[in-house]
Amino acid sequence: MVRRNDQRRAALVDAAIEVLAREGARGLTFRAVDAAASVPVGTASNYFASRDDLFTQAGARVYERLQPDEELIARQRAAGRDRETYVGLMRDLVGRVASFRTGYLALLELRLEATRRPELRKVLTERVRADVDANVAYHEASGLPGDATAVKLLMLTLNWLIVEQLTLPDVFTEVEREQLVTAAVERIVAAE
């Protein structure tokens, strides 16, 4: 029996994310993952039962890697409770998510692929719903202005801004992106 270790599995899933971002869903093969992870041919097939399994694992892993670390969460909790602070938090969020370019591009590929793969759609739906609920709960506990609807609208708005930044980075300048984040918070989040 093949001995499987968690570090190798994580490295293979991370390689799958890179392959998705670079080559799209059609390019995600066991052989491509093996090459991206610099492991012997056949390694990925020992860790994943099928391509569907690989897609599902990659979808879950992107979200794991997008989670903020404890230090960032502590800084956010210590920050002010006004719209100006909210703008800063949203700018940080956009920057943090956009800095994991391959992860976000892979996630876009996974979302498109989920329209054809029910198991992947189920995993992503659960994960995104949990993310929405966690963001709303965090927001409500934080004392920041705005309500659950504002949080959801900001998520939708800023997600598309990130897509624009990663896929067509010259549409908006960095200054324009910062202005758009500020305007989104100011227009969506009601003043207290």
Q: What is the pLDDT of residues 129-144, one digit of tens each?
A: 999 999 999 999 988 9
Query: Which segments of the chain does DSSP mark as H helices, in order?
Result: 6-23, 30-37, 43-47, 51-66, 70-78, 83-99, 101-114, 118-142, 148-167, 174-188
pLDDT confidence band for 168 (50 / 70 / 90): very high
Q: Where in the chain is the domain with CATH 1.10.10.60?
A: 6-61
Q: How far apart are CA 18 and CA 22, in angstroms?
A: 6
Instruction: Judge whether residue 4 has pLDDT over 70.
Output: no
pLDDT confidence band for 75 (50 / 70 / 90): confident
Residue with tokens 């624009």: 164
CATH classification for the domain delimited by 6-61, as one of 3.30.70.360, 3.40.50.720, 3.30.160.110, 1.10.10.60: 1.10.10.60
| Predicted structure pTM score | 0.86
- Do residues 93 and 104 lie in contact, with contact meaning Cβ atoms separated by under 8 Å? no
The candidate with the shortest Cα–Cα distance to 20, out of 133, 105, 90, 146, is 105
Q: What is the pLDDT of residue 1?
A: 43
Give mean pLDDT, residues 102-126: 93
